[in-house]
């Protein structure tokens, strides 16, 4: 929407006073979307010299109640915005133009958000004698943005809870590895931070790690809890969980490649992994991270067919096989977390959503 010409285009103090005093200009400015104002600056003293008639629409005030009342004006600024506004006016008086947004109190007590375009007007060698600007009411835009943020946060929480529920489905079928996906997700996320992944990529990594074993819902329950070694046919059934997980997740429109994380987390750098035998950089970075976190958590924890081997054994495995089975950068970041950063795996009893 176009607004009337900005009063800030006036070039000198004489023109400011003339423009403010001419009824035809005042009528034009009163009809614009913005409320225009002029502040007179006399040393440390600042006072509103003029304000357009539509101040009544913005603040529910008369021109008379605003003009000459600097304290009245600045006290209308929301307490949380006041220091910044005063600092900004100091900056403007030093000769800079400025766009800023803050809240002004309406005469009825509520606050309105304004976008303020402001600049100083110099009077010859005496410096800035006037500050002129215009307020545009942006309350509806601010409130709409706030509602959008609230909705986005609600959707984020819903996604977390949904993914947490999906993770719980796996653990209900495989109680002997309770907390595995949660612990893998926590470790994978910390490895991602150690490697400098963006916050968004790291969030996607956490989601993917939380449900990397979702495909186990398609594996016979007796295989998941088998206390003895599996034969070749049974191992192939167990390994199918990666492809099953991909099929379950592939049609969900996550903003991250979560389905590929599930499919690729057992791929290995030398091509010896499954299901596709991918090598090196062909494996998704997030899947490489989950793969390392998965091995560390599994070795450090109890399994139906063996006792826990411990963190030292897990880190030794990762170090010994770095660059052959596991991405070297991921392996080094994981080792640094435990040895230099004092990281410990979270308690397996924590819920899937408690670590967000």
Angle at 204 between CA 203 and CA 206, to 5 degrees: 65
Q: At which residue do the structure tokens 């660059």 appear?
A: 323
Where are any strands of DSSP class E within the chain? 34-42, 45-51, 98-105, 111-122, 128-137
Tokens of 96: 């800079």
Pairing of strands 34-42, 45-51: antiparallel
The 10 Å CB-count burial string (b at 16+, else e) for 154-168 is eeeeeebeebbebbb
Q: Return d(Cα 58, Cα 110) in angstroms, integer.
A: 11
Residue 131 three-state SS: strand
Q: Return d(Cα 319, Cα 328) in angstroms, integer.
A: 8
Q: Return d(Cα 62, Cα 224) in angstroms, integer.
A: 77
CB 169 within 8 A of CB 78: no
Active site residues: 216
Tokens of 198: 């963006």
Q: Return d(Cα 237, Cα 225) in angstroms, integer.
A: 14
Cα 77 to Cα 47, 70, 291: the distances in Å are: 15, 11, 54
């Amino acid at each position: 929407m176009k607004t009337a010409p900005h009063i800030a285009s006036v070039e000198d103090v004489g023109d400011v006073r003339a423009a403010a005093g001419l009824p035809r200009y005042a009528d034009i400015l009163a009809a614009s979307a913005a409320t225009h104002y002029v502040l007179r600056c006399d040393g440390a003293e600042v006072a509103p010299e003029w304000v357009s008639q539509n101040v009544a629409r913005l603040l529910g005030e008369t021109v008379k109640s605003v003009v000459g009342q600097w304290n009245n004006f600045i006290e209308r600024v929301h307490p949380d915005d006041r220091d910044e506004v005063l600092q900004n006016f100091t900056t403007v008086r030093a000769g800079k133009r400025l766009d800023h947004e803050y809240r002004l109190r309406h005469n009825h007590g509520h606050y309105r958000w304004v976008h303020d375009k402001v600049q100083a007007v110099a009077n010859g060698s005496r410096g800035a004698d006037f500050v002129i600007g215009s307020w545009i009411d942006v309350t509806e835009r601010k409130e709409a943005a706030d509602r959008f943020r609230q909705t986005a946060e609600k959707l984020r929480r819903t996604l977390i809870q949904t993914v947490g529920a999906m993770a719980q489905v796996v653990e209900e079928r495989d109680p002997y590895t309770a907390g595995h996906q949660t612990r893998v997700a926590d470790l994978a996320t910390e490895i991602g931070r150690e490697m400098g992944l963006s916050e968004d990529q790291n969030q996607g990594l956490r989601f993917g790690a939380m449900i990397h074993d979702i495909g186990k819902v398609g594996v016979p329950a007796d295989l998941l809890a088998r206390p003895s070694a599996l034969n070749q046919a049974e191992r192939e059934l167990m390994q199918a969980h990666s492809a099953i997980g991909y099929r379950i997740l592939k049609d969900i429109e996550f903003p991250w490649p979560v389905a590929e994380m599930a499919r690729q987390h057992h791929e290995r750098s030398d091509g010896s992994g499954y299901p596709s035998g991918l090598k090196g950089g062909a494996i998704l970075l997030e899947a490489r991270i989950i793969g390392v976190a998965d091995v560390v958590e599994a070795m450090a924890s109890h399994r139906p067919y063996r006792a826990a081997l411990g963190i030292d054994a897990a880190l030794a495995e990762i170090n010994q096989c770095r660059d052959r089975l596991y991405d070297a950068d991921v392996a080094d970041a994981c080792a640094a977390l435990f040895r230099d950063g004092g990281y410990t795996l979270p308690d397996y009893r924590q819920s899937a959503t408690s670590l967000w």
